[in-house]
Amino acid sequence: MTYAMSVLLLGFVLGLVGVASNPSPYYAALGLVLVAGAGCGVLVACGGGFLSLVLFLIYLGGMLVVFAYSAALAAEPYPEAWGGRAVFGYVVIYIGLVLGAALWAGSGWYEGSWVPIYELKAFSVLPGDFGGVALMFSFGGFLLILGAGALLLTLFVVLELIRGVSRGALRAV
């Protein structure tokens, strides 16, 4: 289990480096899918199967549609790929920063702290993530609605910034 968790966390970090170092939204979509899959895999390994499934379906079902729409509005004739000189420099810098942070903070880290949530309660009828989802909807309903409104506002701001001075889909090609 430790090796599987290590591979998932490595895929998560490499996906984040791929998204952060790429100036073109076309190639960053692959990094986002890798990050979503690896993050959900880490949640499953820690015992949050239901929460992982919901996150994966919502993210890939909704957010990537918005991402594809905004990427279509920001069409570049010659996008830079991961093999480009400037992008490769960013990749090396970000991996160096990740390794430096791992060496600085990794002295007290050991894989024995990766305890699934199911091992913390001896006689539990429901999984631990079900209780967390119920608490989120009961006590955090206002914050949930506030977060949805903030995401909707962010969507409109991003689409307005991407549009620029052109007319969107009605612009002359």
Using a 10 angstrom Cβ sphere, with 0-12 exposed, 13-18 middle and 19 or more buried, the burial of residue 129 is buried
Q: Could you tell me the sign of the dihedral formed by the alpha carbons of 106, 110, 111, 117, in that order?
A: negative
What is the pLDDT at residue 20? 86
pLDDT digits (tens, 9 = 90+) for 37-69: 898 898 888 777 777 888 888 877 777 777 777
Give me 16's structure tokens. Answer: 């984040």
What pTM was estimated for this model as a whole? 0.64
